[in-house]
Structure 1
């Protein structure tokens, strides 16, 4: 019978560990990673946005460049944990001299 309290303590500890991991938000930064390619991305795909989730912001899907396959690959939209006082800027492509530049999504004040 001593193993039951030990199991409960272990489950409670794991629950707390996972709860802490899901509420962590890295510090805000204006780091924008840029990829430049000579091939324009296809038009964005239609995605049905799920119902709102309290404390989260929807990051829409985007085309990512896959250098190994030399083509664009669709990345589906996902929920981003909200940050009070910040605005989410989604990932996007823009045309520049020499090709197309991809910019990751980021938080900004």
Structure 2
């Protein structure tokens, strides 16, 4: 039963990370689609799978592979990295992938 619950959780996280990305700001390449990853069995203890994601390093998108991280109560849902317009700064800003 425990493995079924863990599998369902990983599946739902995967669904959340597969959302369509908004278009990038002018002059930037589109964010590549997520890579397929094989999720290994959890290492034990209260751990949650953090899916792999694309990260903007200032020049290009770099793939950061998925991994298990400690399951904290604040792990609500996974947000992919995205570009957003920061009106106070008057420019586009990359917001890295994170838990919300």
TM-score, normalised to structure 1, is: 0.49
Bigger radius of gyration: 1
Distance 1:99 1:44, change over 3 A: farther
**Structure with the greater relative contact order (CA < 8 A, sep ≥ 6): 1 or 2?**
1
Residue of structure 1 in register with 2:69 after alignment: 80
Please, which runs of 5 or more residues in structure 2 have no aligned partner?
Answer: 1-23, 86-90
**1:71 counterpart (60, 65, 79):** 60
Q: Which has the higher strand share?
A: 1
Distance 1:103 1:71, change over 3 A: closer
Q: How many residues align?
A: 69
Please give the root-mean-square deviation of Cα atoms over the aligned residues, in Å.
Answer: 2.8
Residue of structure 2 in register with 1:93 after alignment: 81
Q: Is the 8 A contact 1:40 1:100 kept in 2?
A: no
Give the Å deviation of 1:99.
6.1
Q: Is the 8 A contact 2:53 2:97 kept in 1?
A: no
Please, which runs of 5 or more residues in structure 1 have no aligned partner?
Answer: 1-35
